[in-house]
Structure 1
Amino acid sequence: MRGGRNLLKALRLGRSRRRGSGDWWKSSGRRHRNSNDLIIVGFTTLPQTPLTANGSLPATSILTNGSHPIEVAETMHPIAEENGRHRPQSSQSSSSSANGRTPCDWDNALVYQDTNLVSGTLDALIQHLVPTQSYYPDRAYVFAFLLSSRLYIRPHELLGRVFRLAMVTPSHSPKYQSLKEVKIVGHIIQLMGEWTELFPYDFRDERMMGHVRTITQKCVCVDPSIRKEVGNLLSSLLAKLTALERYEDFLHRINTEAALGEPGALSSVLTMCPSPSMLAQQLTHIELERLSKIGPEEFVQAFAKDSSQVEYKDMKKTRNLESYVQWFNRLSYYCASEICKMQKKKTRIRVIEYFIETARECFNIGNFNSLMAIIAGLNMSPVARMKKTWAKVNLSQLAVLEHQMDPSSNFTSYRSTLKAAVWRSAGATDERQRIVIPFFSLLVKDLYFLNEGCASQLGNGHINFDKFWQLAKQVTEVVAWQQIQCPFPKVQTVLTALQTAPVFGESALYLSSFECETAENAQEKERVKYLKSDGVNRISGTPPSTKEAKGSKSEKEKSHK
């Protein structure tokens, strides 16, 4: 899998071609015009009109909008004529529609501004994806459209529609049709190859695989020479889906193991992994593995129930994103459990300082997700309330780390640090300098708001493709981070313990905390009374839910106030 770096390069295509233009990453690869004009590319049937010297139809200027003239580009590009596609051609002059022709309908158009595709109807955007014998969509457009189009059309429906449009042929001689189909099938297989590379989890749906079987059989019948290429494509797809199933089985197994046993009965983290540096490295292994398993489409489909016009209830769900969020919660509770289960104050101090040092090592590596999880664990109310313990802890390093992850002003400090880490990664030759693991919950929050923009249509009914580009750019960065291989040696005993060791739930954490340091005020005494009367069991092997983690966070904030 060529992965994120090639895709990021594709999104950056056009920087050298279009100096001084707008956002370079939004180039669709089909439009090159050195102006700020807003161009509407229609798909309507045109009347008989004299051709220009280059064999195309003349463009017609229809109105102006402030400082930006608005044009209707009614030119048929020679290479797109087979499927009725229109493509804008630059012209030195434009004339009014003196012959009585009406401009092409806004409801059936692609709109460009400053050489960037900014909006269009769903039908027009789908047509833009369809390859012909002489045209193939730009890789950046393929990624952006396949990523966000699922908000409007399900993947299996889109694949079937693209194939039907691609194989539509005009009434030419049988010989011409045969030659045309041979050229088209190569592009169809290329498009399917990119789809399976960029979004392999789409093909967990049996309806997608049904289309794949139909399409590949048709393509091989038309051009037997591509049989080997088709075989390689299917083998690669099967390997990706098999790896996903194994990973899901692994997650189920370790979650089952974590549900067994009592946290206090196991050896402490100080015994399991004496070195904070080693623990940070093993956490980085886990983070990179779990981050790499998240499919790009999960960032869209995770919010589909709130904003999409498409339902996914009948599709097989991939929960790698949710599993990664649960890992963050588990690590926070693991940190708090290791502290609260220590009955001796001296040992608790050592464990707290151990985790602070581990957090510092995570920061140096570029593992911001583990860093934030550890800070969250240290600030959970059952841990934060133990004032006698904290009075003996050296807090200088923790203060620096908390400043870096300060949530004020929308995490300004962290965002600056992340940019520096990305810059370091881009120019690094040492694999250890290339690691970037973002604070995942904040990343998901950012993507959620971008996703809402993708799901909302413009006033004229067009899809806002500018939002598609923005989401694609953000997700492409994540894809690039997913390709990074962890350079540190694995310590399997530590990896297993981190993922399977039982942890306390919130109530059990409070009970353990009150055993370490007795309740000091009326509120705490009331809580102790409630926990004991409720018969809370200290054994809590299952990882806490997201809701429980959020509740703990609110308690932590109240205690700080």
Structure 2
Amino acid sequence: MVDALPALRSTPSTSNGQTMEDEDIVRDASGSVVSGGAESLISLLLPSSSTSSSSEDASTYAFTLLLNIRTTMAPIDVLISLFHQTMYSQNSRGGNFCREKRSELFHTMYSLASMWSTHIPHDFTNQEMIRRLEELLQLVCIDEEHRVKSNQLILTLKSTLSRIDRYEKALATLVVKQEEELASSQSIIGLFSISSDTSLISQQLTHIELERLSMMALDDIVLAISESSHDSLLASPSHPSVNSCIHWFNRLSSLVATEILRHSRKRLRASIIDSWIETAKECFDRGNFNSTCAIVAGLNSTPIQRLKRTWSKVDRAKLDILQHQLDPSGNFVSYRSTMKAALWRAEGASKDDEKVIIPFFGLLLKDLFMIYHNNPRELPNGHLNFKAFSLLSSSLYPLAEWKRRTVSFPRHPIILQYLLVAMTYEEDALLLRSFEYEEPDTPTEKEMHKKMKKAS
């Protein structure tokens, strides 16, 4: 199986290095593909004597094409086209019947199938896709060794799809505890009564983030950014794995505020805020930037931020540092610098726990949205713009690697269960409780409180 995607150029190169247009493909002076018709771009997935591409170049080209072409062709149509072109290529010249050429064709198709089924397995939830893939692999097998490898690939793919199905069913069966009213306590309750160890809690948050990240479908991302407006992208994503990540971010932000406002005493609220700040810092240090951003968003929510007397008991130094790192000014320049530093650290790390990168998913989606919509996907001559394809896939390429990261620290089932199903409340309910603890002290707050009481 293909374990990693090479960080190399994403188009096979020609041997002569000249600008050319051949068989509906346009290349630049270095031989890299600029644009082409869909069928011609698919044909470059096959081995050809006219190219001198390495297996790394070919793998990256395949990743780029398969991830992007779905916006113009259904994956099943791509696979059917590939099958027909493979059959034609196999029989086009007598020399292709020799064992060396047939073996080369098998290894090319096997590598392509491995990359496709590893990095975009959701395409094969359609049984017709699996059948067509089996046909393609059987077409190019020349001996029992090839058939064994092909069968094992299909078995691995089916195992992956089974895991995806079990995960999606598990998410659907999560039942969030329901309470009619936000309870108020004069002693520590909730998450930090289970454990006050913020390092342990940050570890469990990282488990949740990595699980969702590992199940993130790259094709879902491409389709989500292609079908959404900028405003609706984060508000109501229509693709399951994207929606799962957005829902989790919003849930964690709401949980932060809920846990604080479950405590009626100012000192306890300040203590819970301190614990969340320390948890956010622990997440940040682990490379779990998504949980960090969600926690800070919860602390900055209106019901929490307005509690001036509570905040007077909080040491804000660590929070101020985190907020600086996550400052949106300059298009999140501080956060982007931090991400670069985290990538350098991960590349040189010897331990799995130090290789974790969990990006702020909301910003990643917005970046991908801008790349997608600011670069035309189709050109006036009818060609697909492969340069635009490469821009998008080079931004998704790191995510394909981050999805595969693991950690060594253990799971804590009770904390995980609480984080996933504990009751959270909408902002209006939280704001009403916030006004109960600290009365509105500005004309705007007083007017808001009056309207909310009347509505309730």
If the length of structure 2 is used for normalisation, what is the TM-score? Answer: 0.88
Whether 1:301 and 2:223 are equivalent positions in the alignment is yes
Match of 2:311 in 1: 390
Which residue matches 1:232? Answer: 152
- The 1:496–1:270 alpha-carbon spacing in structure 2 relative to 1, beyond 3 Å, is same
**Structure 2 match to 1:125:** 41
Cα pair 2:184 2:262 within 8 Å, conserved? no
Q: Separation in 2 of the partners of 1:504 and 1:381?
A: 13
Say if 1:365 and 1:433, in contact at 8 Å, map to a contact too: yes
Q: Deviations over 1:436-491 (max 9, x none)?
A: 11111111111112222565323433322122222222211111212211222221
User: Which one of 125, 150, 154 corresponds to residue 70 of structure 2?
Assistant: 150
Query: Aligned pair in 2 of structure 1 residues 476, 261: CA closer, same or farther (>3 Å)?
Result: farther
Instruction: Find 2:14's aligned residue among 27, 31, 40.
Output: 31
SS in structure 2 at match of 1:264 = coil
Q: Aligned pair count? A: 439
The DSSP-based 3-state class of the residue aligned with 1:519 is: coil
Change (3 A) 1:354 1:190: closer
Q: Residues 132-171 of structure 1: CA distance to partner in whole angstroms, max 9, x if unpaired? A: 6998871111111111111111111000001101101557
Report the Cα offset of residue 29 of structure 1. Answer: 3.5
User: Percent identity over the alignment?
Assistant: 34
CA distance in 2, matches of 1:462, 1:133: 24
Q: Report the CA distance shift for 1:507/1:162 in structure 2 as closer, same or farther (over 3 A).
A: same
Cα deviation for residue 495 of structure 1 reads 0.9
2:194 to 264, 272, 278: 272
Aligned: 1:525 with 2:441: no
Q: Which among 287, 291, 301 is matched to residue 366 of structure 1?
A: 287
RMSD across aligned positions (CA) = 2.7
* Aligned counterpart, 1:11: 7
CA distance, structure 2, for counterparts of residue 198 and residue 348 of structure 1: 44
Residue 40 (1) aligns with residue 20 (2): yes
Give the structure 2 partner of residue 162 of structure 1. 82
Change (3 A) 1:359 1:225: closer
SS of 1:441's equivalent in the other structure is: helix
Distance 1:483 1:183, change over 3 A: closer
Query: Structure 1: how far apart are the matches of 2:403 and 2:178?
Result: 29
Q: Distance in 2 between matches of 1:204 and 1:262?
A: 42
SS in 2 for 1:297: helix
Matches within 5 A, 1:158-237: 158-168=78-88, 170=91, 184-219=105-140, 223-237=143-157
What is the rounded CA distance, in whole Å, between the counterparts of 1:353 and 1:456 in structure 2? 48
Pairing partner for 2:391 from 451, 470, 476:
470
Shift of residue 224 of structure 1?
4.9
CA contact (8 A) 2:284 2:292 kept: yes
Query: Structure 1: which 5+ runs fail to align?
Result: 13-25, 44-107, 308-316, 536-561
- The correspondence for 2:209, drawn from 252, 263, 287, is 287
Q: Tell me the distance in 2 between the aligned counterparts of 1:216 and 1:467.
A: 30
Q: Give the Cα–Cα distance (whole angstroms) in 2 for the partners of residues 279 and 433 of structure 1.
A: 17
The equivalent of 2:233 in structure 1 is none
- Partner letter of residue 158 of structure 1? V
> Is the partner of 2:176 in helix, strand or coil?
helix
Contact preservation (8 Å) 2:25, 2:33 = no
C-alpha distance after superposition, 1:265-314 (max 9, x if no partner): 8932220221112111111111111111112222211123259xxxxxxx
Does the C-alpha gap of structure 1 residues 306 and 287 become closer, same or farther in structure 2, counting only changes over 3 Å? closer
Could you tell me whether the CA contact under 8 Å between 2:110 and 2:150 is conserved in 1?
yes
Q: SS of the residue aligned with 1:362?
A: helix
1:497 aligns with 2:413: no
Instruction: State the SS of the aligned residue for 1:138.
Output: helix
Contact 1:163 1:188 in 2 (8 A): no
1-structure distance, mates of 2:184, 2:310 = 22
- Taking a change above 3 Å as real, the CA distance of residues 455 and 300 of structure 1, as seen in their structure-2 partners, is farther
Deviation of residue 236 (structure 1)? 0.3
Q: Deviations over 1:78-136 (max 9, x none)?
A: xxxxxxxxxxxxxxxxxxxxxxxxxxxxxx23222334222222232112123469988
1:346 aligns with 2:262: no
Residue identity in the other structure for 1:40: M
2:235 corresponds to which residue? none
Report the secondary structure of 2:423's partner residue.
Answer: coil
Residue correspondence of structure 1 range 49-88 to structure 2 within 5 A: none
Aligned partners of 1:454 and 1:463 also within 8 Å? no
Matched, 1:446 2:356: no
For 1:454 and 1:234, the matched residues in 2 are separated by 36
Does 2:395 correspond to 1:479? Answer: no
Distance 1:251 1:171 in 2: 50
Alpha carbons 1:185, 1:223 under 8 Å: kept = no
Matches for 1:242-261 after TM superposition, within 5 Å = 242-254=162-174, 256-259=175-178
Q: Distance in 1 between matches of 2:140 and 2:107?
A: 8
SS of corresponding position for 2:21: strand
Q: Contact 1:42–1:110 at 8 Å: present in 2 too?
A: yes
Mapped partners of 2:248, 2:92: distance in 1: 58
The AA in structure 1 aligned to 2:206 is: T
Whole-Å separation in 1 of the counterparts to 2:211 and 2:15: 40
2:332 to 411, 436, 442: 411
TM-score by length of 1: 0.72
> Post-superposition shift, 1:33?
5.3
Q: CA deviation at 1:526?
A: 3.1
Are the equivalent residues in 2 in contact too, given 1:362–1:368 (CA < 8 A)? Answer: yes
* 1:417 CA displacement: 0.7
SS for the counterpart of 2:409 is: coil
- The match for 1:324 among 245, 248, 252 is 245
1:507 paired with 2:435, answer no
**What residue in structure 1 maps to residue 60 of structure 2?**
140
CA distance in 1, matches of 2:157, 2:92: 36
